[in-house]
Structures are given as C-alpha cells and as structure tokens.
Chain A
Amino acid sequence: MGVCNIGKIRGLPYTWGKACLPPQHVENPLAPLAPQLVADQLRLDYPGGVTALRDLTLRVPAGQFVSVLGPSGCGKSTLLRLMGGLINSSEGILTVDGQPPSMARQRSAKMSFVFQDATLLPWRTVIGNVRLPLELLRQPAAEQQVKAINATELVGLAEFATRYPRELSGGMRMRASLARALVTQPKVLLLDEPFGALDDITRSQLNEDLLNLWQRNGWTAVFVTHNIAEAVFLSQRVIVMSPRPGRVVADIPVSLPSTRNAALRASADFARLAGEVSEQLRKACA
C-alpha cells in the first residue's frame, strides 16, 4: 500500500497505482502449486427456478487442458460463464488463482472466451477484431497493433488480416476468433464448443493447431465439446457431466503421448480411451 501512495504522490502513470494490490492479493509464492481453478459444491440457479448446476466439484491445475462432455442442457456453458465471472454462483465456492473469477480476471489471470460462433464484428477487419480486447483494456495503440499482428500470425491468418469476416470461410473465422482470444495472452482459456459448426477436416486441422498453440503457451484450457474424438485428442483429462442439474460424474485421465498427430487418431490407445469416454457418457445420460 505504501508503494502505491508514493506512486500517486510522485504522479507516476496510473497503471503503476493499479498494479499495486491490497496485501491480501499479493501473489502467494506457493500459488503455482495450488489448482488454478477450484469449484467446490458449486450450484447455480437461474432466475425462474432452473437449477443448472448442483454439487459440482472440480479442480484444474494451472496449465492443464481439460475437456468437458455432457448431454446438452446439462450446464456446460453455464460452468464456463461462471468460471469467466460473467455470472455469479448461487452456492458453493469457485475461485481462479484463489480469488473470485471476476476479480481474478481483472487482477492476476487474464481470461479469454471462445464461443461456438466466431462472433466477429462484421464491420471490422480480421486485425480489427483481433485488436478489440486490447482496445477494451486500453493498451497503448502501438502495442495493440504489434500484439494483434502476432496473434493473427499465430493462427495462420496473416494474409487475411485486412479482410472482413464475410470474406472468410467458417474455419478462418474461427481462427480469427481464436486469435482474438489469444491476443491478451490469457492464462485461462474457456472454449464453448468452438469447432462444433465446422466440417470434419477443418475441425481436425484446427484441433492440431490448437494443441500446438497450447503446447507452446501453456494456458489452462477448459474445452466444452460434443465430440468425443476431439476431447480425447486435445486433452490431458476429460470430464463427463450428468444431465441437468450438472455435476461431474466421470473424470478420465488421458494418458497419451504429448506429441499428438493424425496417426495417433488411428492408434489402439486412442480408440480405447475414446471407447471409455463414450461408455461414461452413455452411463451419464442413462
């Protein structure tokens, strides 16, 4: 706090003051060892009486890639919205880096969301869309441009940076959406059936690219999908949820080698894991 005051007195830039947090939020040196996302006995009731989640307990260590499978309407999107701090839980505990998500989002762990639709702004070019989060965070313009270009290159859209969304294919739009999510260099990435509307070939391609990006950047990823093969291919761990009100009914570690490619999809291990997930999902829906 003392440092904060000195900063203000000396008229240092606003961001200096902002970076100084009250003592209870000073980063715990042991924090990396604790799970980054913690949900404990989580419950969510929507106004109108729908209980979307009940007794949901889940711990995700920093840097893990978790997929979430479950029947539709079981509360998967709700879970992501809670983790992003977009809605508040009715009961139970949910923390990101030991803080409520909406606080973590502003202080320690930047979070990004990828939706099923690319949800790009049609009046902005690809680069304009990718830059948007940085504009909202009021970063310096020059920095915005550099970061946006980097993120656009990262997803392989450099040539299309100045195109409008209507000029892109579905797969390219999803890449732009991914670049927009990555541009803030998030620690937590929440993906809600991002490739659900794409054809198989485009989907596999994007799966491989996403995995590659994750291996290089190591964000914590919570990936909601309906596609078992996709879940197994991407994740270190697959969670299966019960029908509404949703809770975790199966937690399957995916022990596949870390280098994953098209050949892996045809392997016996892959088939066995996919079979197991499929069986758990069938039981959950029964």
Chain B
Amino acid sequence: MLLVLVVIAWHSVVVAFGLKPYQLPLPSRVVKAGWERHWELADATAMTSLAATGGFLLSLSVGTLIGIAFSQSRAIARSVYPYAIFLQTVPIVAIAPIIINWFGTGLQSVIVVAFIISLFPIITNIYAGLTTIDPNLLELFQLHNASRWQTLTKLQLPGAVPNLVTGAKVSAGLSVIGAIVGEFFAGATDLYGLGYLIPQALGQLKMDYGFAAVICSALLGLVVFGTVSIVGERLLRRWRIGNH
C-alpha cells in the first residue's frame, strides 16, 4: 500500500518537475531497465548476498568468541573494548583501501569489509547477555561447585541467546551495507556485486539501471533481515518465560 503511494509520488515528481531520465528516471523506466538485464542483476544480487552472508557468519562466530573472552576476564574486556569501539566508529571508506591492500580485490576483501562493519553489535549484545545473569542462578551453580566451563555452557551462553538474536538482526542488515561498500572499492573482479554495478551504471549515466540495482540492494537487505528475524524468533520460542 505504502509502496503504491511511493511509486505514485515518485512518478508525479518526475512529471511535475519535468526531470530528465539522467536526473530521476520514471519508475516504469527503472522496471524496464532492470528487466532487460535481470540476469546480470540477479547474479550481482547473489554475489552481494554471498559476501554479506560470509561477513555476517564471520561476525557471528568471531563476535561470539570475543564476547566470551570479554566475559571471562574483566582485564581483557577493559583492554580490548576500546579497539572494538574503534571498529564501530572508524569510517569504513577510510580503511577499505588498506583492506584491499592486504587481501587483494575480490570476494575475500568484500567479506572482510562486511565482517568489520557487522561485528560490533554481536560483541556488545552477547557480552551483555553473558554478564547479566540472575544472581540466584549464579548462586545455584556455585552451590553445586560448578566449574567456569559449566557456568559458561549451561548458564551464560544459553542465557545470552536472546541477546545474540537481537545483535544478529542489527548485524545482518549491516553486513549487506558492508558488502555493498566493500564492492564499491574491491568488487572489480570477474564476478560483480551490486556495489560495483551501482557506481558503474551511474558513471555511464544509466540512472534507470542504477536505480534498479539500488532497489535490488534494498530488497536484499530486507530479505536478510527478515530471514534472521524469523530464525531468531523460532529459536527464542523456547527462551520465553511465561507470565503466570
């Protein structure tokens, strides 16, 4: 419904201001341009989603490990946390060239950029989950002489799953952004992602095709976010405490 309104508004703006196609193409032209080269768009979307998924899964595993390390030692948390914040605040545009220098152009660099951008929310959320535990439950574990490992695997980690799901939703969206930004800089190989197609199309003043690619990236973001949300909700069903 909203989509229909947006399309109508877009169309009216183009007509009302008499905008040229290289300024803002008509929605119908975008659809047409996209359809003409839909195989190329599909390949690029698949390529980008591959890089985003790779970056996301890396974030999920590395972020969880870092979160666990933080939860085991305050000293580690205090000394490493500032670097984790650095990840959050550094402009990726500034370090992308360095990453390409290290990893070369191509998929691996794109994955690394997606990973760096999507790592932070996993670390903070899982760390929060691992460290905010019902004190009575900790006492229960202590009373039965539980080891650190038992406390981690039987109490902290399962207890942190809801936080991990929250972090994963944010991280999944960021990984798509990261993949596209990564492709801007490092995507020029035999396989092109959306982040490579968009600036290329705009450079050739093919606004309509560029817009089609932008829409594909937005859709990809939605699909990735939706998938993670659905999987997360399923997982969390067991975690919910009733309200008797």
- The answer for the CA separation of A137 and B159 in the assembled complex, in Å, is 20
Given contacts A117-B136, A119-B136, A122-B239, contact A105 B145 (CB under 8 A): yes
B138-169 near A? 1/0 per residue, CB < 8 Å: 01111111100010001100110100000000
In the complex, what's the smallest C-beta–C-beta distance from A219 to chain B, in angstroms? 15
Query: Which B residues lie within 8 Å of A170 (CB)?
Result: 244
Query: Does B238 sit at the interface, judged by CB under 8 A?
Result: yes
Query: Does B242 sit at the interface, judged by CB under 8 A?
Result: yes
Contact partner, B241, options A81, A105, A133, A165, Cβ 8 Å: A165
Interface residues of B, count at CB 8 A = 23
Contact partner, A166, options B144, B150, B155, B240, Cβ 8 Å: B240
Query: Does B190 sit at the interface, judged by CB under 8 A?
Result: no
How extensive is the interface on chain A, given as a class? 20 to 34
Given contacts A119-B134, A119-B136, A169-B244, contact A136 B238 (CB under 8 A): no
Query: Does A164 sit at the interface, judged by CB under 8 A?
Result: yes
Q: Is the CB of B244 within 8 A of A136?
A: no
Q: Is the CB of B145 within 8 A of A113?
A: no
Q: Is the CB of B144 within 8 A of A137?
A: yes
Given contacts A106-B145, A136-B145, contact A119 B140 (CB under 8 A): yes
Q: Is the CB of B242 within 8 A of A167?
A: yes
Query: Does A6 sit at the interface, judged by CB under 8 A?
Result: no
Q: Is the CB of A132 within 8 A of B154?
A: yes
- The answer for the CA separation of A168 and B242 in the assembled complex, in Å, is 8
Contact partner, A119, options B137, B150, B158, Cβ 8 Å: B137
Given contacts A111-B143, A112-B143, contact A123 B136 (CB under 8 A): no
Query: Which A residues lie within 8 Å of B146 (CB)?
Result: 136
Given contacts A166-B240, A169-B244, A170-B244, contact A137 B139 (CB under 8 A): no
Q: 16 A-B Cβ contacts within 8 A?
A: A86-B139, A105-B143, A113-B140, A117-B136, A119-B136, A121-B154, A121-B158, A133-B140, A135-B150, A136-B141, A136-B144, A136-B145, A136-B146, A137-B144, A166-B242, A184-B144
